Amino acid sequence: MADDIEAKVAAARAELADTLDAIEDKLNVPKRVSELTERAKASYERNPLPWIIGAVGAAIAVAGVVAWAILSDDD
pLDDT tier at 75, thresholds 50, 70, 90: low
Cα(48)–Cα(42) distance, integer angstroms: 10
Angle at CA of residue 58, ends 56 and 61, nearest 5° = 110
Q: What does the pLDDT look like over 11-65, one tens digit per residue?
A: 999 999 999 999 999 999 999 999 999 999 999 999 999 999 999 999 999 999 9
Q: Is the pLDDT of residue 73 over 90?
A: no
Task: Please report the pLDDT score of residue 59 as a whole number.
Answer: 98
* Distance from chain centroid for Cα 33: 5
Length of the chain: 75
pTM flag (> 0.75): no
